[in-house]
Structure 1
């Protein structure tokens, strides 16, 4: 498998859509399909299940994705480092994150500052209700956010964190006593709306508008900050899927977190504006690639 085929495979594994993969890599959908079919023939197995409605990784495909990703990122990091060996990062990097996810990046921050003593990291916070505003308004240089990210002006860097998901429900809710739930239960309840500034595909990745069986998911009140989310859920007006770290970091009277069984893990990635890439950003991304992704 050559490097381009690996790139096509990993991008399709992220996007799970042939058209979006082709657009992201600036190739034709036929080129993507041919590359995947060629890989499957060589391996004698199916890497993706395709239907008219969705594309999904098989178990073999998921294992191959995990095995290939780290090596591919190291290769890319090496190529990038060689091409800019004369650049020296010096200065302050503004790193934006949602809430406590910034704390989970401490190993990357430490590796970056130890390697580049002339650099410092300034931590910023952004809200999910405006996921890319801080970058575009030049309030941050790089940020960590959940994938997918499909913005033409934004570069998607390495995955740095993964975690499961939970459903936040009122303490008196019928689901509050369950050990775990299916994402299908969203079809029975009202779910929070993340607001008009949130791209539809990005919200869909966390809180789908249809259940796996096709039932519509009713949207309710709008919440623009995490504390608004907790307040609305505690009031009984809505439920909402959240990332699993909230159950360790946040308690709130009247809110219970129930694990969701049948959703993919959230993948947190580094992103930055294509037109404002700096030596500091590249050095931070290199440090993240070398450390690899970590489950939280």
Structure 2
């Protein structure tokens, strides 16, 4: 990104995501002609064609697709630098911890209570997010640390420590026959004609094919289960949000789920080290008993 301005990157990302100069200009609150000229100037400076333009619209070239990925990463890094610098200058130091709304509630409460009892503990601001947003919040600096789950969340570019490994449960409507079962298998929950599995967004925000409803938020998902429209399979400790209209049934052959404390790779701070050490000392039991967390070096 040598020699490029942040403004140029934001212009290009808007056009690349909208694939329409008019909509991108509206999103950027600017007129379309100067936006078109800015993109043309960017292409001339790079010496490559980023966008194909014809009567049918706008499309990314292979170079444009690469540029979009790199521009997003660069803008995230700039945003993160600004946000973290401002937090570092605050009169009262704090960490921002992000987690999916409704997920790992008991674990989160134990972690916050145990950390608050440490000498020298700082404030922990909890930033609740929707499905799959934790990684983005870490990359762009809105959060310093996150509670995430393997193998479901993308951990690229992050360091992490395991907190808990456990089995999974199916959340089903209380009135459905499955709610009376003592256990289920993945084959059984995957083949219920009147209760298809909810479809979570993939990491590129598209949805896998299937008959189940597309879900984006915990509240949306909870209501659809209560209405008898879907079921889902989640880590056992994440079921704290379930409604009275829900029943949790163990899924015996579901992959084990690991809850992690994650942070941007290379981050070093005594405050973060204290939170990770607290997580290590929680000694939570999982499918295989307490989980050992590898020791990490943060100071320096």
- The alignment's TM-score, normalised by the length of structure 2, stands at 0.54
Match of 1:68 in 2: none
Structure 1 residues 255-266: aligned runs within 5 Å: 255-266=246-257
Q: How far apart are the structure 2 equivalents of 1:225 and 1:197? A: 15
- The alignment's TM-score, normalised by the length of structure 1, stands at 0.55
1:151 and 2:151 are equivalent in the alignment: no
CA drift of 1:199 comes to 7.8
Number of residue pairs the alignment of both structures matches: 191
Match of 1:287 in 2: 278
Unpaired segments ≥5 residues, structure 1: 1-89, 204-208, 210-216
Structure 1 residues 129-144: aligned runs within 5 Å: 129-144=132-147
Q: How far apart are the structure 1 equivalents of 2:259 and 2:142? A: 20
Q: 2:228 aligns with which of 208, 230, 236?
A: 236
1:220 and 2:220 are equivalent in the alignment: no
Q: Secondary structure at the match of 1:289?
A: helix
Structure 1 residues 116-127: aligned runs within 5 Å: 116-117=119-120, 119-127=122-130
CA drift of 1:222 comes to 1.1
Q: How far apart are the structure 1 equivalents of 2:284 and 2:204? A: 26
Q: How far apart are the structure 2 equivalents of 1:219 and 1:275? A: 42
CA separation of 1:249 and 1:273: change in aligned 2, threshold 3 A: same
Instruction: Confirm or deny: 8 A CA contact 2:94 2:124 kept in the other structure.
Output: yes
Instruction: Confirm or deny: 8 A CA contact 1:230 1:252 kept in the other structure.
Output: no
Q: 1:192 aligns with which of 183, 190, 198?
A: 198
Q: Secondary structure at the match of 1:220?
A: coil
CA drift of 1:150 comes to 4.5
Match of 1:17 in 2: none
Match of 1:183 in 2: 186
Q: Secondary structure at the match of 2:190?
A: helix
Deviations 1:123-145 (A, max 9, x none): 22122243422212322110111
CA drift of 1:198 comes to 6.1
Instruction: Confirm or deny: 8 A CA contact 1:129 1:225 kept in the other structure.
Output: no
Deviations 1:177-227 (A, max 9, x none): 212111111331321111244689xx9xxxxx8xxxxxxx93521111111
Q: How far apart are the structure 2 equivalents of 1:100 and 1:130? A: 13
Unpaired segments ≥5 residues, structure 2: 1-91, 288-300
Match of 1:114 in 2: 117
Instruction: Confirm or deny: 8 A CA contact 1:170 1:233 kept in the other structure.
Output: yes
CA drift of 1:294 comes to 3.6
Q: How far apart are the structure 1 equivalents of 2:179 and 2:118? A: 46
Instruction: Confirm or deny: 8 A CA contact 1:141 1:273 kept in the other structure.
Output: yes
CA separation of 1:271 and 1:166: change in aligned 2, threshold 3 A: same
Q: How far apart are the structure 1 equivalents of 2:199 and 2:126? A: 27
Higher relative contact order (CA closer than 8 Å, sequence separation 6+): 1
Q: Secondary structure at the match of 1:181?
A: coil
Q: How far apart are the structure 1 equivalents of 2:117 and 2:177? A: 50
CA separation of 1:133 and 1:262: change in aligned 2, threshold 3 A: same
